[in-house]
Amino acid sequence: MTTNDWDNERMELAELKPELERLHVASFGWALSCCQRDRAEAEDVLQSVYLKILQGKARYRGEANFKTWLFAVIRKTALGERRAQVRRAWRAVVGADRAVARGRFAAGPLAGLVQAETQTRFLRALDKLPQRQREVLHLVFYEDLSLREAAGVMGVTIGSARQHYDRAKKHLREHLDREEIEHEAHWQRAENSSAIS
Amino acid sequence: MKLTGSELRIQAQFLELKADDERLTPNFVAIWTQAMTKAERRRPSLRFSYAGVGFVILALFSLVLWSRSWQKQELVVLESPLPPSYLLPTVTNVIQGDEPARPFRPLPRKHRPAHRRSQLLRQQAVINNASAFAVWQSPTSKLLESPAENVLSALPQLTQASLELQSFLPAAELKENK
């Protein structure tokens, strides 16, 4: 690269940095969703995305909304990290078990303290959905994007995004209802057993 | 987008999740600085690798140019224009004695490269010597000639000899033999 190219790059980064900072919280939330709520993995993914932007491997050329472009890069990076993780897990037998445990709600006692019970049930129901359905719900309800913008992030057509959205709502409703029924049944059993004793 | 009953419920759950995630979000400056440090660490090695690749390409290019110029010089030597045939000595003609040997004359200066002049002059001397050897005759070659050379060099004619012998014999002997 010539000196002129480096100057142009620095200028672009100077303009991009404030935008990246403004969207940092939303970016982290999206990275969490892409990494199945694994906080450490989401941080790694976000750092990899910033590194790509600094190295010029990911360039915003103004073809779409900046947020849409950034979220698409985060999604692609998370998928790549996930594939690499799966490959590593297949190589080490012990690593396979840890990778599965790691991908679930930032496992540990701290997770139970931070998240309310309803939220845990909600996340459990969300986790049962296919990836595309989970993504479209997060982008529309969490990130407040339109369906068109969500389709751009996911790399699908607007029709396909709408289909995923409708199915996701239906399935999530079913899972949440089932979770509530199971929860109520569990508490009723607990109450009955304490009443008897 | 106007949300209906179940959608509002889903949105409420997501907003609650969002509030929790905001508390857990790491500091932007920390992550950005880590990324910048990694980028700076990789950049010099990338520069070195680009410089190395550039050097290799330059070396290959100069090698190709050098080999081409070397081949061109050889071609110039091989394709150096020969003098036309009428200027070359005709050795067969010299042996038969039909034509005298012509000395080799080099081409005019404008047709020859300057750096080949000395080589051509040496070749000219060699060719002149060769043509001189071809026409040389010994000064004592006359001594080797003899009067009976015709007889010695020709094949015997048997019928001719018997006819000549008959001319010596008397006529009576010839009748008896018949």
Q: What string of DSSP letters covers A136-194?
A: HHIIIIIS---HHHHHHHHTS-HHHHHHHHHHHHHHHHHHHHHHHHHHHHHHHHHHHHH
A85 inside 8 A of chain B by CB: no
> Where do runs of H (alpha helix) occur along A92-146?
93-102, 109-114, 117-127, 131-137
Exposed / middle / buried, residue B48 (Cβ in 10 Å: 0-12, 13-18, 19+): exposed
Q: Collect all residues of chain A within an 8 Å Cβ-Cβ radius of residue B35.
A: 47, 50-51, 54
B10/B30 Cα distance (integer angstroms): 33
B165/B23 Cα distance (integer angstroms): 149
A51 inside 8 A of chain B by CB: yes
Q: Which residue of A has its CA nearest to B51?
A: A1
Q: Please tell me the predicted confidence (pLDDT) of residue A99.
A: 46
- Of residues A8 and B128, more confidently modeled: B128
Q: Collect all residues of chain B within an 8 Å Cβ-Cβ radius of residue A176.
A: 9
Q: Please tell me the predicted confidence (pLDDT) of residue A121.
A: 85
pLDDT tens-digit profile, chain A (197 residues)? 555 555 555 557 778 899 999 999 999 999 999 998 999 999 999 999 999 999 989 988 887 789 999 999 999 999 998 888 777 777 765 554 444 444 444 444 455 554 567 888 888 889 999 999 999 999 999 999 999 999 999 999 999 999 999 999 999 999 888 877 887 887 777 777 766 55
Please give the average per-residue pLDDT across B91-112, as a whole number.
55
Predicted-assembly ipTM surpassing the 0.95 threshold:
no
Q: Say whether B2 sits in a helix, a strand or coil.
A: coil
For residue B93, pLDDT beyond 60: no
Name the CA dihedral angle for B129, B133, B138, B142, rounded to a multiple of 10 degrees: -130
Query: Highest-confidence range of A76-80, A122-126, B1-5, B61-65, by mean pLDDT?
Result: A76-80
Query: Predicted confidence band at B118 (pLDDT cuts at 50, 70, 90)?
Result: confident
Residue with tokens 């982008």: A139
Q: Which residue of B has its CA nearest to A169?
A: B7
Which of A47, A120, A149 is the mutation pick for testing B, counting most B CBs within 10 A?
A: A47
The per-residue pLDDT of chain B, averaged, comes to 75
**A113-to-A35, A106, A187 alpha-carbon distances in Å:** 21, 12, 20
Q: Are the beta carbons of B22 and A25 separated by less than 8 Å?
A: yes
For residue B71, pLDDT beyond 90: no
For residue B81, pLDDT beyond 60: no
User: Which tokens belong to A101?
Assistant: 């445990």
User: Which tokens belong to A154?
Assistant: 């996911």
